[in-house]
Amino acid sequence: MVDLKGKTALVTGATGGMGKEIAYALSKLGMNVCVNYSSEKKEREAGEIVRGIEKCGTKALAVCADVSNSQEVGAMFKEAHARLGSIFVLVNNAGIYAAKPGTPLHEVPEEEWDRVMNVNLKGVYLCAREAARQMIANKGGRIINISSVVGLRGSRAGAHYAASKAGVIGLTYALADELGQYGILANSVAPGPVKTKLLDKLNKTDFERMRRETPIGRIATEKEIADAVCFFAQTDIVNGQVMVVDGGRVKH
Ligand SMILES: NC(=O)c1ccc[n+]([C@@H]2O[C@H](COP(=O)([O-])OP(=O)(O)OC[C@H]3O[C@@H](n4cnc5c(N)ncnc54)[C@H](OP(=O)(O)O)[C@@H]3O)[C@@H](O)[C@H]2O)c1
C-alpha cells in the first residue's frame, strides 16, 4: 500500500455529501487536500472544510471551479500545484442528477442531456486530463472516478444520468490502459443509493424500497463510499476496476 502522507489530493464537488467525507478521509491518511467547490454560494462551506482539515494537521486549499469549464479546471489545477504541490490523487466526485428523475428518454430536453453529460462526463475528462499531465511528469498517481450502479445496469431514474455514469466507467477503463505505464492507476467507485442532497427529489417511500431491496437491509453511508476511495488511493496494484458499494443489490 502507498504511504500517502504529505502527498496532495484534489476532490471535486468536495462540499457535497460524499465529497466532504472523501476530503476528510484523505486528510486523515496524511494528505494535503484541494477542496473544489462549484460556485461562490459554497465558498463558506468550502472554507469550513479547509479549516476542519487544517485542524487535523494537514494542508488544505479551497478552489472554486465548474468542472465542466476547461479554463476554470485548468486554473484550479495550476493553483493547486502552486500551493500544495503536484496532485497524486484525483477524486472525480462532482456530479448532478436528472432534473426530473423518472422522465423517459423521449421527454428529456436536449439542454438537460447536455447539462448532465457536461458535468458528469466531460468534467471527469477535463480534470483527468489536467491531473494526468502532473502525474505523468511525477511518474505516479491515482485517479478515482465516482460512477454509479446505474452506469452498470441502467436505471429508470434518467437515461442521461445512467449514460453519463456508464461513460465514466468506460473512461476509467481507458485511463487505466493508457496511464498504467506511468505508475498511474485509475479505478471507479460505483455507489448504490446514498442519502445525500443529490437524491433530495426521492421520497421516504423510495428510500424504504431501496432499503428493502438491499441484502444487508440498509443503504450505504457517505463514510463507506469514502472508505472505498481510500482503498483505491492506497493500492499499488488494483487498476481499471469498478467497486460497487451498495450492500449487495448489484452484483458485478
Ligand atoms: N447519492 C447517491 O445516491 C449517489 C449514488 C451513486 C453515485 N453518486 C455520485 O456520487 C457523487 C457525489 O454525489 P453526492 O451524492 O455526494 O451528491 P451531492 O451532495 O449533491 O454532491 C455533489 C457535489 O458535486 C458538486 N457539483 C455539481 N456540479 C458541479 C460542477 N459543475 N462543478 C463542480 N462541482 C459540481 C455539487 O456542488 P453544488 O452543491 O454547489 O451543486 C456538490 O458539491 C456524484 O458524482 C453522484 O453522481 C451518488
The pLDDT of residue 243: 98
Q: What is the pLDDT of residue 247?
A: 97
State the pTM of this model: 0.98
CB within 8 A of 220, min separation 6: which ones? 191, 192, 193, 194, 245, 246, 247
Q: What is the pLDDT of residue 204?
A: 87
| Residue 122 neighbours by CB under 8 Å, 6+ apart | 68
- Expressed in angstroms and rounded, the spacing between residue 237 Cα and the centre of ligand 1 is 28
63 in helix, strand or coil? strand
Q: Which atom of ligand 1 is nearest to the CA of 119?
A: 31
- Are 176 and 219 within 8 A, CB to CB? no
Grid cell at residue 80? 493547486
C-alpha R_g of the chain? 17
Collect the ranges in the chain with pLDDT lower than 50.
Answer: none
Ligand 1 centre to CA of 209 (Å) is 22
Is the C-beta atom of 17 inside 6 A of ligand 1? yes
Q: For position 80, what pLDDT does the model report?
A: 98
Query: Could you confirm whether 37 is annotated as catalytic?
Result: no
Distances (CA, A) of 46 to 61, 82, 86, 141: 9, 19, 21, 24
| Residue 42: predicted pLDDT | 97
Residue nearest atom 40 of ligand 1, based on CA coordinates: 38
Q: Which of 18, 23, 77, 19 is closest to 50 using CA atoms?
A: 23
Q: Which of 24, 37, 125, 161 is catalytic?
A: 161
Going along the chain from its start, the domains and CATH numbers come out as: 8-245 (3.40.50.720)
CA of 138 to the centre of ligand 1 (A): 29
